[in-house]
Amino acid sequence: MKFIAFHLMPYADLDLSYTERYDSAWVTLPNSYYDPVKGHALYNRYIDELEYADRLGFDGIGINEHHQNAYGLMPTPGVIAGALARRTKGTIAVLGRALPLVNNPLVIAEEFSMIDNITGGRLIAGFVRGIGAEYHSWNMNPAFSHERFGEAHDLIVRAWTETGPFHWRSKHYDFRYVNTWPRPYQQPHPPIWIPSQGSRETIVWAAAAERKYTYLQTYSPVAAVKRFLDLYREEAQKAGYTATPEQLGWMTPVYVGETDASARAEAKSHIEAFANKFLRMKAEMVRPPGYLSLASAKAVLEAKAGRAAEHTVDSLMESGQFICGSAATVRDRLAGYEDMLGLGNFLALLQFGTLPHDATMRNIERFARDVIPQLRARAPQAAALNTR
Amino acid sequence: MNAASAEATRTTHTIEGVEVSVLRGGSGPPLLFLHGSDAFAEWQPFMAELARRYDVIVPDHPGFGRSATPPWLDTIGDLAHFYRAFIEAFDLHDVIVAGHGIGGWVAVELALRDTRELRALVLVDAAGLPLSVDGVDTFMCSPEEIRAASYLDIRRAPAPDDVLRAHQAKNALMTARLAWQPRFYDPQLAKWLHRLRLPTLVVWGDGDAIFPPRQAAAFAAAIGGARTLVIPDAGHHPHVEAPQAFAAGVGAFIDGVRS
């Protein structure tokens, strides 16, 4: 299994009492809650944390894109990737750029090519549709999200692989001269990963034989992760091939402490802030109309029915949305998940919510020293991988 | 097909390759009513009021309610072209076209394209022009919140029965597809509204929280000779909240229009 230290770069100094006046940390929370002096410190702190993870032997570091919220301060992840490029050695996974949001997807082809060139081919290129809230923040029509995602992907891959200039025409995009400079360093193009919250259409698309893209399930209960990764494997079988663990990944928050009890106590307020304050959104914000197909929307509504509104550290640990404990406990949990889920990639979110710098650095250290080497040395249970 | 009530029938027709569901009742000159973001599950009191004097035809738009969703439906303009085909298929002449919300926007786009079979236009709390003051963002609202924002008195709203609930996600998806961005308007429309050569009545609920009532003035100013009827004690659906006042206002206006 490969290990990537993932970061959301939240506005960790958020005044959590905002919920007394506003219903979400997304879209409509006034940006007067953001203090640029604190923001300056946070950005640099977070870059230090990712560089530290790279130094300690993670296979890579991961970042992503979010807009107009306190949850993630990377509207342009290429800026952070650029800042990280020169002082890291491992993979830089940008997971990912939200294709449907931009009116010219070629800016993403260019940005990724630049990172790939500067790093000499250390880029993993993530393509996403963006969280529903971003369709509010950018006023992009969610009902065209799937169409634009497919077209933008095809355009970017063609721009990376075909000699320009050529004329691109599709329903949503028309570019007379597509001729991307620089071309990507990796040939034919950087590996493409598809992070998603579990949209059926996205999983089926990623697993198709002509793509075989690595599918990354983001923060979800383990039972749901299992269901979505199984769906990918089933789709691969239907397409006439067997999906490998390298094609599957999962991102979730992790905290490694000295003991189970101390880990839980140290992480409690921060993971609860993550789940209840930073991720606070009403359904219409998360799933604007058309963002999911009618069939998926129905499935999601059924899956979410009856779920508690407020999470606790214990409810999150129980559902597997938070892996927390001593190094031995975290190792055992992850080994179990590796076998159960058939995972080849694990993305550990080692800073979450309000978790401060020193605790984050200890978390990175313990994960790198007491979890990764032991799991790398272990052979996944092949039998379990073949249960499907 | 299932009868909507003793006074109206619901039938299905295939036009431009789409199966559309149509409520129809009454007799007299044809009045085509184009619904807003939600298709009507059943015959409404305002339709019954209008049906005393008109042949009232209320289709579920393609992509809404009981009608099928065609692959070509991307814009309000697509619906305007569809209704040209609809008027032809129903062999309607001298039609009064009334439209509420996005249906009003469709009616305007239709009238700008082809007025040959049209007699008059009735725009009810209509979309199509940019808002000078933002109303409630319905895309950020739950179905319950939309209902609460749409009616001055929620007790006057159609009951949220199973049919309405079943169509909610479908109607919301298509409304977003047609009107998310720019939000409920076409920036090109205002430039050409003055070319509209059709008697027009602009009806607005004085308590509309979604498209605030000053929109009525914007439409009236843009469309030469348009008359305005502000219905008191009504929100975004004045035809539903005040069916008699609405039908009387429409009737008086049409009486003043020479056919």
Whether the predicted pLDDT of A305 surpasses 90: no
Q: Say which residues have a Cβ less than 8 Å from residue B59's Cβ, sequence separation at least 6.
A: B20, B21, B22, B23, B32, B34, B67, B86
Would strands A214-217 and A248-257 be described as parallel, antiparallel, or unpaired?
parallel
- Helix H, strand E, coil C: the string for B173-194 is HHHHHHHCCCCCECCCHHHHHH
DSSP type of residue A183? P
ipTM of the complex model: 0.93
Dihedral of CA atoms A290, A291, A292, A294 in degrees, nearest 10, equals -10
Q: Cβ of B177 under 8 Å from any chain A Cβ?
A: yes
Q: Does the beta carbon of B166 lie under 8 angstroms from any beta carbon of chain A?
A: no
- Distance CA(A53)–CA(A85), nearest Å, equals 14
The tens place of each residue's pLDDT in chain B, 259 residues long, gives 334 456 899 999 999 999 999 999 999 999 999 999 999 989 999 999 999 999 999 999 999 999 999 999 999 999 999 999 999 999 999 999 999 999 999 999 999 999 999 999 999 999 999 998 899 999 999 999 999 999 999 999 988 888 888 899 999 999 999 999 999 999 999 899 999 989 999 999 999 999 999 999 999 999 989 999 999 999 999 999 999 999 999 999 999 986 5
For residue A102, give how far its alpha carbon lies from the nearest alpha carbon of chain B (Å). Answer: 14
Backbone angles phi, psi at B231, to 5 degrees: -100, 120
Task: Identify how many contiguous H helices and E strands chain A contains and give both numbers.
Answer: 15, 11
Distance from CA of B124 to the nearest CA of A (A): 24
> What confidence score (pLDDT) does residue A104 get?
97
- Give percent of chain A with pLDDT exceeding 70: 95
Q: Is pLDDT of A386 > 60?
A: no
B241: tokens are: 């909240």
Q: What is the mean pLDDT of residues A42-63?
A: 98
Above pLDDT 90, what percent of chain B?
A: 89
Task: Tell me the nearest-neighbour CA distance from B197 into chain A, angstroms.
Answer: 33
Min Cα distance B37 → chain A (Å) is 12
Residue type, A178: V
From chain A, the residues in CB contact with B180 under 8 A are 135, 139-143, 288, 290
Residue A382: is its pLDDT beyond 80? Answer: no
Q: Which residue of B has its CA nearest to A288?
A: B139
User: B172–A289: do the CB atoms touch at under 8 Å?
Assistant: yes
- B177 vs A285: CB contact, 8 Å cut-off? no
* Distance from C-alpha of A103 to C-alpha of A106, rounded to nearest angstrom: 9
Q: By CA distance, what is A298's nearest residue in B?
A: B169
Residues of B in contact with A294 (CB under 8 A): 169-170, 173
Nearest Cβ partner of A136 from B140, B174, B177? Answer: B140
User: Across the interface, do A284 and B175 touch by the CB < 8 Å criterion?
Assistant: no
Structural contact between residues A107 and A63, judged by C-beta atoms closer than 8 angstroms: no
Strands A123-128 and A91-98: parallel
Tell me how close the Cα of A331 comes to any Cα of chain B, in angstroms. 42
Q: Is A295 on the interface with B (CB under 8 A)?
A: no
B28, B55 in Cβ contact below 8 A? yes
Decide if B13 touches A, using CB distance below 8 A. no
Burial, A157: exposed, middle or buried (Cβ in 10 Å; 0-12, 13-18, 19+)?
middle
**Nearest CB partner across the interface for A141, out of B140, B141, B180:** B180
Beta strands in chain A (DSSP E): 2-6, 60-63, 91-98, 123-128, 166-169, 174-178, 192-196, 214-217, 248-257, 323-326, 345-349
A282 contacts on B by Cβ (under 8 Å): 140, 142
Q: What is the pTM of this model?
A: 0.94
Task: With CB atoms and an 8 Å threshold, state whether A298 touches B169.
Answer: yes
